[in-house]
Amino acid sequence: MADQFLRGRSALVTGGSRGIGAAICRALAEAGASVAINYRNRADEAERLAAELSDKGVPAAALQADVSVAAAVADLVAAVDAKLGPADILINNAGIAITRAVEELTEADFDTTIAVNLKSAFLCTQAVLPGMRARQWGRIVNISSGAARGAGAIGLHYNASKAGMEGLTRGYAARLVKDGITVNAVAPSLIATDMMKEQQALVSRIPLGRFGLPEEVAKAVMLLLDNPYMTGQTIAMSGGMAFN
């Protein structure tokens, strides 16, 4: 059995029903945490994952919410509290990737991307902070992207949302370090998720010669959760495409 260093802790993973989010949920469960799996539209996948974790003896709940909406986030955090206990761990993973060229990008595309990828991290963090501060313990990990620092393949709106997330990470980290709360980010590039199914040609860009795995991203998240001295940092994962 894995080291259960999170036993007795409760975690909320936004966008947790599949891909990187689901891998993080499984890793949290292995480490002993209760897991709230947030989803917006994919109820079946979220419920199946919650059942999978519950069958292993892990308290888990699938909770619907659009985390770009403040009222929905307030209800979500209250539901986590009621079902699993106050959230000690927040993984801001919810995101969208609307691929657009510069000349095709609309104001609606930009606003939606910022709301889902960046504003949601702000709303969820604000909602869990009072409890974390009261307990003098918290772990927040934001799932960024290599696009925060590189050109990326999705569009400048996506770049902006992820660069903003890393700025948010540093800003919160500086202000919460004395409250026993760490705030960090993981920035993966080209991970084998549904988003990459039609993008096999991109493997040629990766020196390692393959896409990263969601489970490898989850390992980086767990490293951050287990290290109280590490805050305000971004772990980049690119298979050798770029170096910090």
Nearest CA to 202 out of 212, 192, 219, 190 is that of 190
Residue 147 in contact with residue 102, Cβ under 8 Å?
no
The one catalytic residue among 39, 158, 172, 229 = 158
| Pair type for strands 181-188 and 138-143 | parallel
CB atoms within 10 A of CB 23: 23
Beta bridge partners of 188: 237
Residue 223, burial from CB neighbour count under 10 angstroms (0-12, 13-18, 19+): middle
DSSP annotation of 40: S
Instruction: Return d(Cα 216, Cα 57) in angstroms, integer.
Output: 24
Position 219, amino acid: K
> Measured over all CA atoms, what is the biggest interatomic distance in the chain, rounded to whole angstroms?
52
39 is catalytic: no
Position 91, amino acid: I
Give the residue numbers annotated as catalytic, written as ranges.
158
